[in-house]
């Protein structure tokens, strides 16, 4: 690769699936083949861009391109897509982050590049908590511009652990394969949730605690709800699985979704599943959530985590930094308009 690399504004990852892999797993400057051999790294090649077209009509001159890829020397090549504000070219070239070739007013307008799944599947979900709202591209551009600077290969954000390289090229450091694992399509997670989905509407063969032996049967519904408020999501399910009285104590959909989104906003697959159908299902889901909490965190000591999910959780942390700035700008705009 000539010139220099640029990295995703959201995840900090590369725009190329051609990473260095060592079949022997002994080279410290290469990823391990034993880890990545079953991973599809194609998501890294895709790139879309957010920019401003000063010649676009109307007040909102922002645009989001179609999919393309990294070109060279800080440039990207993308298809124009469906956004009417994209400059009218079939294959548009843009400069990412900063135009080094220009001087002063002669610099070309720059764009912010990111993987489509980082933008559509993670950032948009993070900003609006799963609601069907579209990001205001002009506001987001202003946020990213505030974070633009330094070496102009990514934003000035905390990109989490392990920290992605931000050098002239992408370094494939052994033990950091998590950085290139797909954060949306996660086969291990799909397999775990398949077990949950197969248990839906399945009644437990027998109650684990007969009603007359259940100590929680002595509590009023109000006190049972107070107990639930003190527990994390996994423990709520474990208690419901162990106690018939607590199992039959109804929790509102709003309470449960709020608890899940507070503790595990990045685990959106479970947010809309009704897991309170049987004690058997509650038990399975409780164990799954407790296991996921542990295995969604990267550790440099071993590989005992789900690579794609750990990468998703890391990226979610980046998106939360963008979200707070975005919502603050949006609030200021609303206050000014009113």
Under 8 Å between Cβ of 289 and 234: yes
Helices (H), the chain: 33-36, 116-117, 124-128, 137-146, 187-198, 221-229, 233-242, 244-247, 253-263, 279-295, 307-337
Structure tokens at 297: 């965190």
Mean pLDDT of the chain: 90
Which residues make beta-bridge pairs with 77?
Answer: 69, 93
DSSP state at residue 63: E
User: Is the confidence at residue 16, as pLDDT, over 60?
Assistant: yes
**Cα(195)–Cα(249) distance, integer angstroms:** 25
Among 195-199, 205-209, 296-300, the range of highest mean pLDDT: 296-300
User: Is the confidence at residue 207, as pLDDT, over 60?
Assistant: no
Under 8 Å between Cβ of 276 and 304: no
**Cα(263)–Cα(244) distance, integer angstroms:** 25
Question: Reading across the β-sheet that carries 68-72, which strands appear in turn?
Answer: 62-64, 48-52, 110-114, 91-96, 75-79, 68-72
| pLDDT tier for residue 211 given thresholds of 50, 70 and 90 | low
**Cα(190)–Cα(269) distance, integer angstroms:** 9
pLDDT at position 89:
72
pTM value is 0.91
**Cα(184)–Cα(13) distance, integer angstroms:** 14
User: Is the confidence at residue 268, as pLDDT, over 80?
Assistant: yes
Element of type H or E holding 76: strand 75-79
**For the residues 122-138, what does the mean pLDDT come to?**
89
Nearest residue to 67 via CA among 76, 54, 56, 58: 76
**For the residues 293-303, what does the mean pLDDT come to?**
93
How many DSSP H helices and E strands does the chain contain?
11, 8
**Cα(22)–Cα(1) distance, integer angstroms:** 19
User: Is the confidence at residue 168, as pLDDT, over 70?
Assistant: yes
Under 8 Å between Cβ of 133 and 200: no
**Cα(231)–Cα(112) distance, integer angstroms:** 41
| pLDDT tier for residue 6 given thresholds of 50, 70 and 90 | very high
User: Is the confidence at residue 25, as pLDDT, over 60?
Assistant: yes
User: Is the confidence at residue 206, as pLDDT, over 50?
Assistant: no
At 64, give phi and psi (nearest 5°).
Answer: -125, 125
The helix/strand/coil state of 307 is helix
| pLDDT tier for residue 1 given thresholds of 50, 70 and 90 | very low
């Amino acid at each position: 690769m000539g010139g220099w690399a640029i990295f995703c504004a959201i995840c900090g990852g590369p725009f190329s699936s051609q990473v260095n892999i060592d079949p022997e797993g002994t080279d410290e400057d290469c990823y391990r083949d034993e880890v990545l051999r079953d991973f599809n790294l194609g998501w890294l090649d895709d790139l879309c861009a957010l920019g401003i077209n000063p010649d676009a009509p109307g007040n909102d001159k922002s645009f989001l391109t179609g999919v393309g890829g990294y070109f060279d020397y800080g440039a990207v090549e993308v298809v124009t897509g469906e956004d009417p504000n994209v400059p009218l070219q079939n294959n548009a070239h843009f400069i990412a982050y900063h135009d080094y070739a220009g001087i002063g007013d002669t610099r070309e307008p720059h764009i912010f590049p990111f993987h489509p799944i980082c933008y559509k599947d993670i950032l948009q979900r993070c900003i609006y908590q799963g609601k069907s709202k579209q990001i205001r591209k002009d506001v987001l551009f202003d946020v990213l511009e505030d974070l633009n600077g330094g070496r102009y290969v990514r934003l000035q954000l905390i990109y989490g652990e392990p920290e992605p390289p931000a050098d002239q090229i992408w370094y494939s450091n052994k033990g950091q394969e998590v950085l290139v694992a797909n954060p949306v399509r996660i086969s291990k997670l799909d397999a775990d949730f398949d077990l949950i989905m197969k248990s839906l509407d399945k009644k437990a063969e027998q109650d684990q605690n007969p009603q007359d032996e259940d100590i929680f049967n002595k509590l009023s519904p109000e006190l049972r709800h107070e107990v639930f408020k003190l527990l994390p999501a996994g423990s709520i399910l474990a208690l419901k699985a162990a106690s018939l009285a607590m199992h039959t104590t109804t929790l509102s959909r709003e309470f449960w979704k709020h608890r899940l989104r507070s503790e595990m906003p990045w685990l959106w697959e479970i947010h809309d599943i009704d897991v309170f159908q049987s004690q058997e299902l509650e038990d399975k889901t409780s164990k799954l959530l407790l296991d996921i909490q542990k295995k969604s965190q990267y550790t440099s000591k071993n590989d005992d985590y789900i690579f794609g999910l750990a990468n998703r959780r890391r990226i979610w942390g980046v998106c939360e930094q963008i979200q707070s700035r975005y919502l603050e700008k949006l609030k200021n705009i609303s206050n000014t308009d009113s």
